[in-house]
Amino acid sequence: MKKDEIRKKILESLNWRYATKIFDSERKISEDDMNVILESARLSPSSIGMEMWKFIVVNNKDTRVKLREAGYNQSQITDASHLIVITYRTDSVDNLTKERIERTAKVLKDGQGNLEGLKSMLENSITQKLADGTLDTWIKSQAYIPLGIMLETAAMLDIDTCPMEGFNSEKVDDILNLKEKNLKSITMLTLGYRGADKTIDYPKVRRDFDDVIEFI
**Contact predicate 86/190, CB 8 Å:** no
Q: Does residue 5 touch a second copy according to CB under 8 A?
A: yes
Q: Applying CB under 8 A, which of residues 36, 95, 123, 171 lies at the interface with a second copy?
A: 36
Give me the least distance between CB of 33 and a second copy, in Å please.
Answer: 7
Closest CB 26 distance from a second copy, rounded Å? 20
When binding is defined by CB under 8 A, the residue of 22, 96, 172, 176 that contacts a second copy is 176
Q: Which stretch binds a second copy (CB under 8 A): 20-28, 70-78, 90-98, 135-143?
A: 135-143
Cα separation, 125 vs 153, in Å, equals 31
User: Is 56 in contact with 85 (CB distance < 8 Å)?
Assistant: yes
β-pair partners for 10:
none
145 CB-side CA count, 13 A: 18
Q: Does 160 bind a second copy (CB under 8 A)?
A: no
Interface positions, 93-132, toward a second copy (CB under 8 A): 99-100, 103-104, 107-109, 112-113
Q: What residues numbered 6-25 form the site for a second copy, per CB under 8 A?
A: 6-7, 9-11, 14-15, 17, 19
Q: Does 147 bind a second copy (CB under 8 A)?
A: yes
Collapsing DSSP to helix, strand or coil, 89 comes out as strand
Select from 21-29, 59-67, 71-79, 90-98 the region that touches a second copy (CB under 8 A).
Answer: 59-67
Report the alpha-carbon angle 115-117-51, nearest 5. Answer: 65
Q: Are 70 and 167 in contact (CB under 8 A)?
A: yes
